[in-house]
Chain A
Amino acid sequence: MTAAAATQTPGRRSRAWTLPAGLRRCAVPLALLVLWQASVGFGWISTRSIPSPSQILTAFWDLTVSGELAVHLLVSLGRVSAGLAIGVSAGTVCALIAGLSRRGEDALDALLQMLRTLPHLALVPLFILWFGIGETPKIALVALGTAFPIYLNLFAGIRTVDAKVVEAVSTLGLTRWELIAQVILPGALPAFLTGLRYALGVAWLSLVVGEQINASSGIGYLAMTAREFLRTDVIIVALIVYAILGLLADLIVRLIERRALVWRPAFIKE
């Protein structure tokens, strides 16, 4: 390796280092994975602290084959979807009311700005008292957490639509509703999508917390029961599932952005 580096001339790098660009980025994680497997295999780390990658894979496989993972995954997805649907709708409606009219802003903005400073996860005890221990408090937690990023971003987005463009369009004889639907809301869409990405992150976080309290199903429940039986492998499977779900959600929003914001120079391919 040092020899290769020594013979390397500027602008011309040795083949071994230029070819697998993707592999180079994976090299360190892969090395760590091997090291991890070896450490557990040689007994340097106790499996009670952390299982080996192969044990995790096995647990993953078992949970998948038994159908257990799918059941919990569906339950969790259902909770996130319901919570997101409520939270995004509420945030959107509030942002439209406050963003599109001065009176709406007076009525809503101060209140929502006050409420948003409240860490919503701290409401769990109150939610249990209000909604019991069924599905409602879990969905409510997700809804409450996701409404604020949507509200804040969409409200700001509506208010920062280019006033000069709006003024020019107002000379073209559009009705107020057409102006809102065709110019102001599409103009606020990038901000909305940023809010949606934040909201998805908050949604998973809320779900993790919500499912660790009195749940009888869901990924969080899977992790909590695994703790009872010292099944660290199952706990890590649950963590990985959360991570993959978060990644997928982000990917979906980025795909939406790519389609909805094609007019932006960053996305235009010419």
Chain B
Amino acid sequence: MSHAPSRIPANSKPVVSVRGLVRNFGNGNVLDGLSLDLQPGSFTALLGRSGCGKSTLLRTLAKLDPAPEGTVQLPDERAVVFQEPRLVPWMRVLRNVTLGLRRPDAEARGLAALAEVGLSHRAKAWPLTLSGGEAQRAALARALVREPRLLLLDEPFAALDALTRMRMQGLVETLWRAHAPAVLLVTHDVDEALLLADRAVVMANGRIAADIPIPLARPRRHGDPGFIALRSRLLTELGVDEEHLAAREPQRAEARAAGPTPGGYGLPAGAAAAPSL
């Protein structure tokens, strides 16, 4: 069951295809024979502990890092949104959005993209006068205007306040539905993954450790039973529950060290706040 926009044919050729990707940073492989396909128009969340290699994978897909071993097939139309807006401070917002866009109607397209992210009134503003949320929306417009077939989002909401983050999540979902790029969202936030993605990929030790479909109807809500079940499954995959228990009940740590305990009950059901990994 797919919730991707309907104009994308099912079982089409993957837009991203990674096979046997290895990346070595001197002491051990950060990416260790990783393989991953992304379907056109799909929304995939990439989760994992800090240092598991998910940022390296995203940077490889953005062609910011080399892929010395393995094959990586990518579309030419790619766009990246980083955790920081990374706008050029001495170009007005519209110029930032249209930067590198080689077509006669670049300006009109830039304005249209700004309108889509609700930033038309700031087109002539200098980036340093924008709020954090506005700047990140400008960065989204800069990505969107390139009509990407692959949109890479590297924790794009992590630096925003909670309310702005919720609005931005809604905006990203709307834009994805309207333009149907394949989205790869790197996030630390399990709830964010469950709100937006139709597939969650968990990385560990430089490989894909778990590939979990998220067949939930949209719009999604935190309290839905399906949401809660997937949430605890994802947390288990990320090894959060055990850490959580160890932190809360140190006296049981020894007992657990002696033998594994069944996972999946680490957090109170329906807890609204997402743990930050």
Contacts and interface: CB of A to CB of B under 8 A. Distances in A.
Closest 5 CB pairs of A and B: A172-B100, A168-B86, A263-B126, A173-B100, A263-B90
A106 interface: no
A263 B125 CA distance: 9
Contacts of B84: 164
Interface string B59-78: 00011100000000000001
A164 B64 contact: no
24 contacts: A162-B86, A164-B86, A165-B89, A168-B80, A168-B82, A169-B88, A169-B99, A169-B100, A171-B63, A171-B78, A172-B100, A172-B142, A172-B146, A173-B100, A174-B100, A187-B90, A261-B90, A262-B126, A263-B90, A264-B128, A265-B128, A265-B129, A268-B128, A268-B129
A228 interface: no
A171 B89 contact: no
Classify the secondary structure of B's interface with A.
Answer: loop
Interface stretch (A22-30, A78-86, A178-186, A239-247): A178-186
B84 to A, nearest CB: 6
Given A168-B80, A172-B142, A263 B99 contact: no
A144 B198 CA distance: 65
B240 interface: no
Interface in A252-270: 261-265, 268, 270
B79 interface: yes
B62 A182 contact: no
A178 B98 CA distance: 14
Interface bin, chain B: 20 to 34
Interface residues of A, number: 24
A170 interface: yes
A179 B91 CA distance: 13
Nearest to A165: B86
Contacts of B128: 263-265, 268
A173 B62 CA distance: 12
B195 to A, nearest CB: 25
Nearest to A264: B128
A204 to B, nearest CB: 30
Of A173, A187, A262, A268, which is in contact with the most chain B CB atoms at under 10 Å from its CB?
A173
Contacts of A174: 99-100
B124 to A, nearest CB: 12
Contacts of B127: 263
Given A162-B86, A173-B146, A186-B90, 7 more contacts: A169-B99, A171-B62, A182-B99, A187-B90, A263-B126, A264-B89, A264-B128
B87 interface: yes
Nearest to B128: A265
A165 to B, nearest CB: 5
Nearest to B86: A168
A258 to B, nearest CB: 14
Contacts of B86: 162, 164-165, 167-169
Nearest to A262: B126
Nearest to B59: A167
